[in-house]
Amino acid sequence: MGFKFEDLRVWNEAVDYSTLVSTEIRKWPSEEKFVLSSQFQRVADSVALNIAEGSTGQSNKEFARFLAIALRSGIECVTCIHLAVRRKLIDRESFELHYEKLQHLTKGIQALRKAILSKN
């Protein structure tokens, strides 16, 4: 592919996760449109967006900073799924699916960040 980030496993996983969130929140009631669903989609998108932004034309230190932002957005997604299950917007099975994907994604971001920082 043409851009460095497109070859990154974590970026691809982040895009896949954002798509999963988009599919999930379409099922939610309309009163959540400007509440949790909007926030959830924004932070899910933020993970992939920050990985992409940090990867291109940046120093390793700057890329690591953007990865830290992506990581925080992933953690915010974890809170979104906790809120969603407590508000009965998702069932336990869906919660577990999201939780597993977020654990894998955040561990991948942490590993990439560690590898980037070790190059300095």
One digit per residue, pLDDT tens: the chain, 120 residues?
Answer: 689 899 999 999 999 999 999 999 999 999 888 899 999 999 999 999 999 999 987 799 999 999 999 999 999 999 999 999 999 999 999 999 999 999 999 999 999 999 999 986
Number of folded domains that form the chain: 1
Element (H, E) at 85: helix 60-86
| Structural domain containing residue 80 | 4-118
Sign of CA dihedral 10, 16, 101, 53: positive
Q: At 46, which CATH number?
A: 1.20.1440.60
